[in-house]
Every structure is written in C-alpha cells, then in structure tokens.
Amino acid sequence: MTNNKRLVVMSDDFGMCPAVNEGIVQAFVEGILTDSNLMAPCPSFDEAAKLTKQHNIPVGIHSTFTCDWDKYFWGPLTEASSLITKKNYFKDSVPEAWDQADLEEAWIELLAQYDRIVSNGITLTHVGEHMGIDPNDKHNKVMARLVEAKGIPHKGQLQKHNREPYLSYKYKSNFSAYSSADYETIKAHIKDVLFSLEPGDHMWVVHCGIDDGSLSKLCSPDFHARIWADTFRINDLRLCLDPDIKNWINENEIELTSITEIPTAIL
C-alpha cells in the first residue's frame, strides 16, 4: 500500500434526475469530485451518458433494483416480474426489492443495465449497488456474476455481508457526511475526518444535487427518505465546492485520485 494519502470522492446516482446530473457535473468540473456511477434505468440516464463523455467523468455501473421515491419513478429495462410493483416500477426498499426476487431475472436485468451503458461508448470503472445490500445477499450474487463476466472490479466494501469474495477495489476506510445537522457542523465533521486520515487509500461517498427546487418534488413531504431527496444532496454539493474543504485536502497532502488508481484484490 502507498505511504501517501489518496482519496476517491465518488458521487452516486448519475442519471437519476436533471438536478442530480447537474450537481455531479458541477462537483466534477468545479470541485473535488473524482468519480461517479450511472443508473441505467433512470429517466435522466441519456443526459448523464452524454455528460459523462463530454466531461470525461470516470463512471461505474450503479446497479439499480430499487426506486427511492413516491412521486418520481423508474422500473427495469427488462420484464423482471419478480422485481416490480403492480405499476411496473422497482420497489422502494432493499429488503422488499429482493425478498421475492428471482436471481436469473435479476441477472438478465443487470446485464441489460450494463449493455445500455457500454452501448453509449462508455468504459466502466467499477460495479456498485444502489441503496445497499439485501439481508439475503442476492444483490451481491448478481454483482459477483457481472464482476466475473466482465472483469470490472466492485467499488469496494468494508462489510462482506457473508458473501463470496470477488475482485474489488481495496480501501483503508470509507466515509460520508449524511447528517440532519446544519451545514457548518457537517463541514466540521468532514474536517475532522480529513485530518485523521492515515496513509493509504480512502473513499468519500457523496450524493450531489443542485438546489433548484426540483429535488423536493421527488417525494412527499412526510416520505420516510425525504432527507435523501434534497438535504443530503445539496449539502454534499456544497462540500465538494467549498474552498475550505479543498484547502484542508491540500494541507494534509491528500491526493485526489480516480478509483482506477486504487489497487484491487479478491475481497
């Protein structure tokens, strides 16, 4: 492992909606963002694919089997009858999505998502998951098949979820800033994290989005994941653009790097 401190800043959900797409591009062009990942089934995927190529953003596949919201929806690229609601959308929680999921249907769907991305002339850097891993580890099983079939590493997990090992990027730590606290408190927390990083490779996962009013329309005001619609995304973009954050990274001699520079291992 390197004696230097290296940091990947990864924004999830590229393709979800225009505000997220714009936030990711802004964070990459003007801020500290190094990488992102694409959600092939989402309504704004085509725009995200164009922006990926326009700005040379390193991207992976954000394997998508859930739909987060109750006012804004997407569903599978294939029939995938075991993965959908009565309205043909993905379900909104990870356990529900995978409880009755047929693994072969999920595999066919993941291949379709992969094909949609690469057919746009995009080279994928990693395989990852949207909204986490199910208790029965079905999502990991289909991701493992994609990693093996295409030779693309998983983005890396510190928790193994009792899964079979497969090729993954290897980090010393990963972190995020998700909190209902005010921005300055969150910023102070990130400062503490940055100043405490040890030599080695680290990942900061963010979810960037611009504050244009549209994010709040993704879900109802009392929806259980409301804070994920706007607050987290707006704060993450602010952090990625904040000159203090960049100065602290430089002060601590932290090298911003793309995920492709990180070593891989069977993990």
Q: Is the CB of residue 137 less than 8 Å from the CB of residue 164?
A: no
Q: What is the pLDDT of residue 3?
A: 74
pLDDT at 158 over 80: no
Q: Read off the pTM.
A: 0.97
Q: What is the Cα–Cα distance from 64 to 76, expressed in whole angstroms? A: 8
Q: Are 26 and 241 in contact (CB under 8 A)?
A: yes
Between 5 and 3, where is the model more confident? Answer: 5
Residue 2: per-residue pLDDT: 55
Give the count of beta carbons closer than 10 Å to the beta carbon of residue 154: 23
Query: What's the distance, Cα to Cα, between the start and end of the chain in Å?
Result: 15
Instruction: Give residue-wise pLDDT tens across range 206-240.
Output: 999 999 999 999 999 999 999 999 999 999 999 99
- The domains located in the chain, with CATH, are 5-266 (3.20.20.370)
pLDDT(8) > 90: yes
Question: Comparing 2-6, 162-166, 204-208, 218-222, which segment has the lowest mean pLDDT?
Answer: 162-166
pLDDT, position 165: 87
pLDDT, one tens digit per residue, over 54-77 is: 999 999 999 999 999 999 999 999
pLDDT in tens, 240-261: 999 999 999 999 999 999 999 9
pLDDT for position 15: 99
